[in-house]
Amino acid sequence: MQIPTNKLDLFIRSVEIASYLPGRVRLYSNDMIGDVALAQQVQSQLTAFAEIDSVTTNTVSGSILIVYTPDKLRRNAELRKVEEYIMTHARRK
């Protein structure tokens, strides 16, 4: 197990990776249930990446849906590493 090296690593390791398909990832965060401010923070931080097309958060379920174009995302080395981590840790593929 590697030690998280940045905020993105810490974030990904703090959520449950429910499903992964190239271009679509669903995460769950118990911390986000009922926390509108946290949901807005997650959404704004993830949409700050130009490589991510859209982020949808749900404070009822704690769900985070990330939609992206795989080829575009993989040009960013940091995001490519995150995608590789998600691929290997997703509950459903």
- Strand duo 24-28 + 63-68: pairing: antiparallel
Question: How far is the C-alpha of 91 from the C-alpha of 70, rounded, in Å?
Answer: 19
For residue 82, tell me if it sits in a domain: yes
pTM: 0.88
What are 68's two structure tokens? 């992206």
What pLDDT score was predicted for residue 3? Answer: 47
pLDDT at 6 over 80: no
How many domains does one find in the chain?
1
- Residue 41: CATH number of its domain: 3.30.70
In a domain, 41, yes or no: yes
What pLDDT digit, counting tens, does each position of 8-54 carry?
777 877 899 999 999 999 999 999 999 999 999 999 999 999 999 99
Is position 3 within any domain? Answer: no
Other beta carbons less than 10 A from residue 57's beta carbon: 22
SS3 25: strand
For 61, the domain range is 19-89
Among 61, 77, 62, 80, smallest CA distance to 22 is for 80
